[in-house]
Amino acid sequence: MFNLILFGPPGAGKGTQSERLLEKYQLAHISTGDLLRAERAAGTQLGVQANEYIAKGELVPDAVVIGMVRNYILEHTDASGFIFDGFPRTVAQAEALDTMLEEFGAGIDAVLGLEVEEDELVKRLLLRGQSSGRADDQSEETIRNRFQEYMNKTLPLQSYYTEQDKYSGVPGMGEIETIFGDLCSQIDQVRS
Ligand code: ADP
Protein backbone atom coordinates (compact mmCIF):
# COMPACT_ATOMS: atom_id res chain seq x y z
CA MET A 1 0.00 0.00 0.00
CA PHE A 2 1.13 3.55 -0.66
CA ASN A 3 -0.69 6.19 1.36
CA LEU A 4 -0.32 9.87 0.69
CA ILE A 5 -1.73 12.90 2.46
CA LEU A 6 -2.16 16.07 0.42
CA PHE A 7 -1.90 18.83 2.96
CA GLY A 8 -2.58 22.53 2.76
CA PRO A 9 -5.06 25.31 3.51
CA PRO A 10 -8.46 25.68 1.83
CA GLY A 11 -7.96 26.59 -1.81
CA ALA A 12 -4.39 25.29 -2.02
CA GLY A 13 -5.26 22.97 -4.91
CA LYS A 14 -5.53 19.65 -3.09
CA GLY A 15 -8.60 18.52 -5.05
CA THR A 16 -7.17 19.55 -8.43
CA GLN A 17 -3.87 17.78 -7.83
CA SER A 18 -5.54 14.72 -6.27
CA GLU A 19 -7.46 14.08 -9.49
CA ARG A 20 -4.23 13.97 -11.49
CA LEU A 21 -2.30 11.99 -8.90
CA LEU A 22 -4.86 9.26 -8.44
CA GLU A 23 -4.94 8.66 -12.18
CA LYS A 24 -1.15 8.48 -12.46
CA TYR A 25 -0.57 6.32 -9.38
CA GLN A 26 -3.84 4.35 -9.41
CA LEU A 27 -4.78 5.23 -5.86
CA ALA A 28 -8.20 5.59 -4.26
CA HIS A 29 -9.19 9.16 -3.34
CA ILE A 30 -10.67 10.17 -0.01
CA SER A 31 -11.88 13.75 0.20
CA THR A 32 -13.77 14.29 3.43
CA GLY A 33 -15.19 17.55 2.01
CA ASP A 34 -16.66 15.60 -0.95
CA LEU A 35 -17.97 12.84 1.33
CA LEU A 36 -19.67 15.41 3.57
CA ARG A 37 -21.23 17.20 0.60
CA ALA A 38 -22.49 13.84 -0.73
CA GLU A 39 -24.14 13.17 2.64
CA ARG A 40 -25.76 16.59 2.52
CA ALA A 41 -26.97 16.05 -1.06
CA ALA A 42 -28.47 12.71 0.01
CA GLY A 43 -30.23 14.50 2.85
CA THR A 44 -28.89 12.18 5.57
CA GLN A 45 -28.95 13.25 9.20
CA LEU A 46 -25.15 13.30 9.20
CA GLY A 47 -25.17 15.57 6.15
CA VAL A 48 -27.66 17.99 7.67
CA GLN A 49 -25.71 18.20 10.93
CA ALA A 50 -22.35 18.57 9.18
CA ASN A 51 -23.69 21.39 7.05
CA GLU A 52 -24.19 23.56 10.13
CA TYR A 53 -20.43 23.50 10.71
CA ILE A 54 -19.47 23.77 7.03
CA ALA A 55 -21.68 26.83 6.52
CA LYS A 56 -19.91 28.62 9.37
CA GLY A 57 -16.46 27.61 8.16
CA GLU A 58 -15.88 25.41 11.20
CA LEU A 59 -14.47 21.92 11.28
CA VAL A 60 -16.98 19.08 11.53
CA PRO A 61 -16.49 17.08 14.78
CA ASP A 62 -13.68 14.52 14.67
CA ALA A 63 -15.87 11.51 15.45
CA VAL A 64 -18.04 12.20 12.39
CA VAL A 65 -15.22 12.46 9.86
CA ILE A 66 -13.18 9.64 11.39
CA GLY A 67 -16.21 7.32 11.13
CA MET A 68 -16.73 8.33 7.49
CA VAL A 69 -13.11 7.70 6.56
CA ARG A 70 -13.14 4.38 8.36
CA ASN A 71 -16.18 3.24 6.36
CA TYR A 72 -14.58 4.39 3.13
CA ILE A 73 -11.37 2.46 3.82
CA LEU A 74 -13.32 -0.67 4.74
CA GLU A 75 -15.24 -0.41 1.46
CA HIS A 76 -11.98 -0.10 -0.50
CA THR A 77 -9.72 -2.71 1.07
CA ASP A 78 -8.59 -3.85 -2.40
CA ALA A 79 -7.06 -0.39 -3.15
CA SER A 80 -3.31 -0.22 -3.67
CA GLY A 81 -3.29 2.89 -1.51
CA PHE A 82 -5.10 6.13 -0.79
CA ILE A 83 -4.74 9.83 -1.34
CA PHE A 84 -6.14 11.64 1.66
CA ASP A 85 -7.39 15.09 0.65
CA GLY A 86 -8.64 17.39 3.40
CA PHE A 87 -8.09 14.68 6.01
CA PRO A 88 -6.64 14.57 8.62
CA ARG A 89 -7.35 18.12 9.79
CA THR A 90 -6.67 17.70 13.50
CA VAL A 91 -4.13 15.79 15.56
CA ALA A 92 -6.93 13.49 16.82
CA GLN A 93 -7.82 12.67 13.20
CA ALA A 94 -4.17 11.97 12.37
CA GLU A 95 -3.84 9.61 15.33
CA ALA A 96 -7.05 7.82 14.41
CA LEU A 97 -5.81 7.45 10.83
CA ASP A 98 -2.53 5.90 12.01
CA THR A 99 -4.50 3.39 14.08
CA MET A 100 -6.83 2.53 11.18
CA LEU A 101 -3.98 1.96 8.75
CA GLU A 102 -2.07 -0.15 11.28
CA GLU A 103 -4.94 -2.63 11.12
CA PHE A 104 -3.92 -3.22 7.50
CA GLY A 105 -0.22 -3.33 8.33
CA ALA A 106 0.12 0.03 6.58
CA GLY A 107 0.84 3.64 7.48
CA ILE A 108 1.25 7.06 5.95
CA ASP A 109 4.16 7.09 3.49
CA ALA A 110 4.31 10.77 2.63
CA VAL A 111 2.66 14.08 3.44
CA LEU A 112 2.97 16.76 0.77
CA GLY A 113 1.98 20.28 1.75
CA LEU A 114 0.92 22.75 -0.94
CA GLU A 115 2.20 26.18 0.04
CA VAL A 116 0.17 29.17 -1.16
CA GLU A 117 -0.08 32.75 0.12
CA GLU A 118 -3.30 33.70 1.89
CA ASP A 119 -4.34 36.50 -0.51
CA GLU A 120 -4.08 34.10 -3.43
CA LEU A 121 -6.15 31.51 -1.52
CA VAL A 122 -8.97 34.00 -0.92
CA LYS A 123 -8.99 34.94 -4.61
CA ARG A 124 -9.12 31.31 -5.69
CA LEU A 125 -11.92 30.40 -3.28
CA LEU A 126 -14.10 33.37 -4.24
CA LEU A 127 -13.56 32.49 -7.91
CA ARG A 128 -14.45 28.85 -7.25
CA GLY A 129 -17.55 30.03 -5.39
CA GLN A 130 -18.82 31.73 -8.54
CA SER A 131 -18.88 28.49 -10.51
CA SER A 132 -19.22 25.75 -7.90
CA GLY A 133 -22.18 27.20 -6.09
CA ARG A 134 -20.48 26.25 -2.79
CA ALA A 135 -21.89 28.67 -0.23
CA ASP A 136 -18.77 28.33 1.94
CA ASP A 137 -16.72 29.72 -0.96
CA GLN A 138 -18.94 32.75 -1.47
CA SER A 139 -18.56 34.59 1.80
CA GLU A 140 -15.24 36.14 2.69
CA GLU A 141 -16.16 35.86 6.36
CA THR A 142 -16.61 32.08 6.11
CA ILE A 143 -13.37 31.79 4.16
CA ARG A 144 -11.45 33.74 6.82
CA ASN A 145 -12.97 31.50 9.48
CA ARG A 146 -11.77 28.41 7.59
CA PHE A 147 -8.24 29.86 7.59
CA GLN A 148 -8.52 30.47 11.31
CA GLU A 149 -9.54 26.85 11.87
CA TYR A 150 -6.68 25.77 9.63
CA MET A 151 -4.12 27.80 11.59
CA ASN A 152 -5.39 26.66 14.98
CA LYS A 153 -6.23 23.02 14.41
CA THR A 154 -4.68 21.77 11.17
CA LEU A 155 -1.29 23.47 10.93
CA PRO A 156 0.01 21.60 14.04
CA LEU A 157 -0.08 18.48 11.85
CA GLN A 158 2.86 19.88 9.91
CA SER A 159 5.04 19.34 13.00
CA TYR A 160 3.35 16.01 13.71
CA TYR A 161 4.46 14.66 10.34
CA THR A 162 7.79 16.52 10.24
CA GLU A 163 8.74 14.76 13.47
CA GLN A 164 7.99 11.47 11.71
CA ASP A 165 10.13 12.60 8.77
CA LYS A 166 7.18 12.37 6.38
CA TYR A 167 6.42 16.01 5.56
CA SER A 168 7.64 17.92 2.49
CA GLY A 169 6.44 21.32 1.35
CA VAL A 170 5.78 21.97 -2.34
CA PRO A 171 5.23 25.43 -3.84
CA GLY A 172 1.54 25.63 -4.73
CA MET A 173 1.59 28.85 -6.78
CA GLY A 174 2.11 28.86 -10.54
CA GLU A 175 1.15 26.43 -13.29
CA ILE A 176 -0.93 23.39 -12.31
CA GLU A 177 1.32 21.15 -14.43
CA THR A 178 4.50 22.44 -12.76
CA ILE A 179 3.05 21.84 -9.30
CA PHE A 180 1.95 18.36 -10.40
CA GLY A 181 5.51 17.66 -11.62
CA ASP A 182 6.93 18.71 -8.24
CA LEU A 183 4.47 16.48 -6.38
CA CYS A 184 5.32 13.52 -8.63
CA SER A 185 9.07 13.95 -8.04
CA GLN A 186 8.50 13.91 -4.30
CA ILE A 187 6.30 10.80 -4.54
CA ASP A 188 8.76 9.00 -6.83
CA GLN A 189 11.58 9.65 -4.36
CA VAL A 190 9.59 8.11 -1.51
CA ARG A 191 8.44 5.13 -3.58
CA SER A 192 11.85 4.26 -5.00
P1 ADP B 1 -11.52 23.24 1.53
O2 ADP B 1 -10.27 22.42 1.75
O3 ADP B 1 -11.42 24.11 0.31
O4 ADP B 1 -11.94 24.01 2.75
P5 ADP B 1 -13.19 20.86 1.69
O6 ADP B 1 -14.13 20.44 0.65
O7 ADP B 1 -12.01 19.98 1.95
O8 ADP B 1 -12.73 22.30 1.22
O9 ADP B 1 -13.93 21.07 3.10
C10 ADP B 1 -15.11 21.85 3.20
C11 ADP B 1 -15.59 21.87 4.66
O12 ADP B 1 -15.93 20.54 5.09
C13 ADP B 1 -14.57 22.35 5.68
O14 ADP B 1 -14.56 23.76 5.80
C15 ADP B 1 -15.09 21.66 6.97
O16 ADP B 1 -16.19 22.33 7.51
C17 ADP B 1 -15.58 20.31 6.45
N18 ADP B 1 -14.50 19.29 6.51
C19 ADP B 1 -13.90 18.69 5.45
N20 ADP B 1 -12.98 17.80 5.85
C21 ADP B 1 -12.98 17.84 7.22
C22 ADP B 1 -12.25 17.18 8.24
N23 ADP B 1 -11.29 16.28 7.94
N24 ADP B 1 -12.50 17.48 9.54
C25 ADP B 1 -13.45 18.37 9.86
N26 ADP B 1 -14.19 19.04 8.96
C27 ADP B 1 -13.97 18.79 7.64
pLDDT given at position 96: 98
> Which candidate, 19, 20, 10, places its Cα nearest to that of 154?
10
CA of 32, closest atom in ligand 1: 20
User: b/e map of 53-89 (b: 16 or more CB within 10 Å)?
Assistant: bbeebebbebebbbebbeebbeeeeebebbbbbbbbb
Whether residue 27 is predicted with pLDDT greater than 90 in this model: the reply is yes
> Which candidate, 60, 63, 65, 62, places its Cα nearest to that of 50?
60
d(CA 7, CA 170): 10
pLDDT given at position 104: 87
Distance 3 CA to ligand 1 centre (A): 20
C-alpha dihedral, 42 to 46 to 47 to 51, nearest 10°: 170
Q: Mapped to the 3 state alphabet, what secondary structure does 63-76 carry?
A: HHHHHHHHHHHHHC
pLDDT given at position 192: 79
Q: Residue 71: which pLDDT band, with cuts at 50, 70 and 90?
A: very high
Per DSSP, 153 falls in state I
Whether residue 121 is predicted with pLDDT greater than 90 in this model: the reply is yes
Structural domain for 121, as ranges: 2-191
C-alpha dihedral, 53 to 55 to 30 to 2, nearest 10°: -70
Q: Residue 84: which pLDDT band, with cuts at 50, 70 and 90?
A: very high
d(CA 16, CA 8): 12
Whether residue 78 is predicted with pLDDT greater than 90 in this model: the reply is yes
Answering whether pTM is above 0.85, one says yes
Cα 19 from chain centroid?
A: 12
Angle at 179 between CA 128 and CA 138, to 5 degrees: 10
14 is catalytic: yes
Best of 54, 118, 126 for a ligand 1 pocket test (most atoms within 8 Å of beta carbon):
54
Whether residue 93 is predicted with pLDDT greater than 90 in this model: the reply is yes
Q: Which is the catalytic residue, given 20, 37, 40, 128?
A: 128
128 is catalytic: yes
The percentage of residues in the chain with a pLDDT greater than 90, rounded to a whole number, is: 97
Is residue 101 within 8 Å of residue 107, measured between CB atoms? yes
Tens digit of each residue's pLDDT (9 = 90 or more) over 32-52 = 999 999 999 999 999 999 999
CA of 85, closest atom in ligand 1: 7
Residue 140 belongs to domain with CATH number: 3.40.50.300
The response to whether residue 116 sits with its C-beta less than 6 Å from ligand 1 reads no
The percentage of residues in the chain with a pLDDT greater than 70, rounded to a whole number, is: 100
Q: How many domains does the chain have?
A: 1
124 is catalytic: no
